[in-house]
Structure 1
């Protein structure tokens, strides 16, 4: 971190937005630790990492805008257990709650990156998306950068607690996907039984 400096920390956070396995929970406290040692200022750490978050978010927003609703509906029509109206419901939900989703999503592992894509799909106004991303990212980044700044060499304790949060999110996603599959498969089987003619008795 002392070699790459605050701009490098910002680049690392931008890459973390694109490739979620890169751990912001490690990058940000290390930036804070380097700031506490005088390698660069705390303000530089916060500004550059927030700019990195914004850059990565806008790239994913662009991917979502390129995909668009029509292309996603066409993809859903070809994927087993998905339907085009699933996309329509998701888009309708995002139109209602997209602002809160972008802001709070910036502080949830995994969703920190993914939330930018539906924002692009629904063409959320760029100014609104940018402001919400900066606000949510600045809050998340400040917590972890300050933790590294204040804890110093003890910063790895942050990673342990962040891992617990990540495991909770992953478990919730797995449960949600499993529930969706069970409901959709049962509905599909019920539809097939309803369409199959009753065997005639001889």
Structure 2
């Protein structure tokens, strides 16, 4: 996968970065933690071909457009229908209906800011668009929070690759376990919130 990412960036430049980040949102196994640091490293080593600001905006564009791919199915399909489709074809995307349920719980707990926060959390950042669509979140609000969260994430990864230089792969190496810990904390928080609501309803 690394060789494919390198070839895409080298051959297509900014459009290649935007394409990769778009695909990263559609197919979660493609890691932004590798794409953007590599793009940042490329901007450092070949400034005549790519500059760090162009890399950042290309990554941001691909990330925001990719988020819309999950927003509209949530908006126009029922939750039951969407989960059925995901269970049937989700293996291709490495997601399941349970992932949608977790994202939905996170969204309803946090409200609109869930889109902003969710864009910073691997494992949640892609699917947070689904409950936003299911809840008919205003498109402009969705784009604003998505762009804001994506800008922080893309900017961090791009700058890390630019600073680390040839050691850009360390971003993915060290961020991966941190991401898993953050995802685990979010899942536990959502589970605790559900239990709290159930106890409250029982007392009522």
2:149 counterpart residue number: 136
Q: Residues 28-177 of structure 1: matches in 2 within 5 Å? A: 28-37=36-45, 38=47, 39-68=49-78, 71=81, 94=107, 97-169=110-182, 171-172=184-185
Q: Structure 1 unaligned runs (5+)? A: 76-86, 184-202
Deviation, 1:130, is: 0.2
TM-score, normalised with respect to structure 2? 0.71
Q: 1:32 to 1:73 in 2, by over 3 A?
A: closer
Question: Does the aligned pair in 2 maintain the 1:109–1:165 contact within 8 Å?
Answer: no
Question: Does the aligned pair in 2 maintain the 1:94–1:122 contact within 8 Å?
Answer: no
Alpha-carbon displacement from aligned partner over 1:110-150 (angstroms, at most 9, x marks no partner) = 10101000000111000000000000000000000011111
2:29 counterpart residue number: 21
Deviation, 1:95, is: 5.4
CA distance in 2, matches of 1:95, 1:164: 26
**Which of 165-174 and 107-116 deviates more?**
165-174
CA distance in 2, matches of 1:134, 1:26: 20
CA distance in 1, matches of 2:80, 2:183: 29
Question: Does the aligned pair in 2 maintain the 1:68–1:122 contact within 8 Å?
Answer: no
Q: CA RMSD, aligned part only?
A: 2.9
Alpha-carbon displacement from aligned partner over 1:48-72 (angstroms, at most 9, x marks no partner) = 1101011110111011112235757
Deviation, 1:35, is: 0.9
Larger Rg: 1
TM-score, normalised with respect to structure 1? 0.72
Q: SS state of the match for residue 10, structure 2?
A: coil
Alpha-carbon displacement from aligned partner over 1:71-107 (angstroms, at most 9, x marks no partner) = 57999xxxxxxxxxxx8xx58x745632111001001
CA distance in 1, matches of 2:140, 2:60: 16
Question: Does the aligned pair in 2 maintain the 1:69–1:122 contact within 8 Å?
Answer: no
Deviation, 1:174, is: 7.4
CA distance in 1, matches of 2:183, 2:155: 24
CA distance in 1, matches of 2:166, 2:184: 31
How many pairs were matched up? 166
